Structure 1
Amino acid sequence: MTRNERLARWIALLLPAALLAGAWGSQLFGHLYPCEMCHWQRWPHYAALPFALLAFVVPQRSVAKAFVILAALLVAVSGVIGVLHAGVEYHWWNGFTACTSTVDLRGLDAAARLDALMKAPIVRCDAPQWTLAGVSLAGFNAIFSLAGAFTVLVLMRKSR
């Protein structure tokens, strides 16, 4: 296995692990509760981890390379979902889930208002709970996931 392949394998494992640790840490310790689209971003990272781990244990180099590439593609999928989510947060486009709906209470009687409020999402996808320099957690996930996946794929291509 070449140096580039080893580096790509480590990035394919550590990047989704670190991003998931950050997501869970912000949830458990920072009390930033994930919305529906936040959960969507986590699923490809969960899926990438077993493939990245398998790349360390399979003896066939070609199979290990395939697992690394698959892990990188899954990380990229999370990045694309992060772009979609960040776009919803920045109001570049409308969200397509119930968690982006706003409650319009105009013209409703008291019972209908209460019903609308009770059905409203607790954590909205279109309102970032935390930002740093104007970048939300979805934005950071998009940046790190897409850059990391690109790096892994370039390293794997150079190893040919």
Structure 2
Amino acid sequence: MSYSGKQIGLLAAAGSAALLFAAFVFQALGYAPCAMCIWQRYPHVVAIGMGLLLTMGLPIIPLLLIGAASAATTAALGVFHTGVERDWWEGPTSCTGSGLDMSSMSAEDLLSTDGASNLVMCDQVAWEFLTLSMASWNALLSLVLAGLWVFAFAMRQSNSAGPSLTSP
């Protein structure tokens, strides 16, 4: 059975939908997302949107390229988040606490419970499977999805008479 570039693109978009759905399931199970987890969701939404646009008869090539860029972006964010979790590099101070200068804080400030109690730290692994965190799994699976988008683009290019950005 032979698949078209459009079908492969739809499969990649469905993969993003599955990853986003899984993120929401984990959230419903009590694994609150950190800021970097949320950042990784936005490119999946874009990839899903490209999949929806593929079904509408719009020019395919730009949609495949945007889908590939979206999947690669969330994969890169997942790699960055993994590095923050593993202490390979520092993450944003807004969700890791790094760079926090406690030397100027009083004992009362340090013991205060007036701050945000629902802040989820980006440098803490909330869940792991086979020694990989959710961010790591997102990075790996999103790289596969980016590869599918690129493969769909390559198939589309090889099946067309010449490079075209507008042919459906």
Report if TM-score (shorter chain) is over 0.5: yes
**Alpha-carbon shift at residue 68 of structure 1 (Å):** 2.3
Report the structure, 1 or 2, having the larger helix content: 1
Matches within 5 A, 1:1-160: 3-28=3-28, 30-58=29-57, 63-101=59-97, 108-115=105-112, 118=115, 122-159=119-156, 160=158
Write the distance in 2 (CA, Å) between the matches of 1:117 and 1:105: 16
Q: How many residues are paired up?
A: 155
TM-score, normalised via structure 1 length: 0.85
Change (3 A) 1:70 1:108: closer
**Alpha-carbon shift at residue 81 of structure 1 (Å):** 0.3
Write the distance in 2 (CA, Å) between the matches of 1:88 and 1:77: 17
**Alpha-carbon shift at residue 156 of structure 1 (Å):** 2.3
Asked whether the equivalents of residues 32 and 129 of structure 1 are also in contact (C-alpha less than 8 Å), the reply is: yes
Change (3 A) 1:41 1:90: same
Q: Which letter maps to 2:134?
A: L
Q: Deviations over 1:71-116 (max 9, x none)?
A: 1211110010000001100111111241111577678543121348
RMSD after superposition: 2.4
Asked whether the equivalents of residues 84 and 122 of structure 2 are also in contact (C-alpha less than 8 Å), the reply is: yes
**Alpha-carbon shift at residue 10 of structure 1 (Å):** 2.1
Q: Which letter maps to 2:91?
A: G
TM-score, normalised via structure 2 length: 0.81
What is the aligned-residue identity percentage?
30
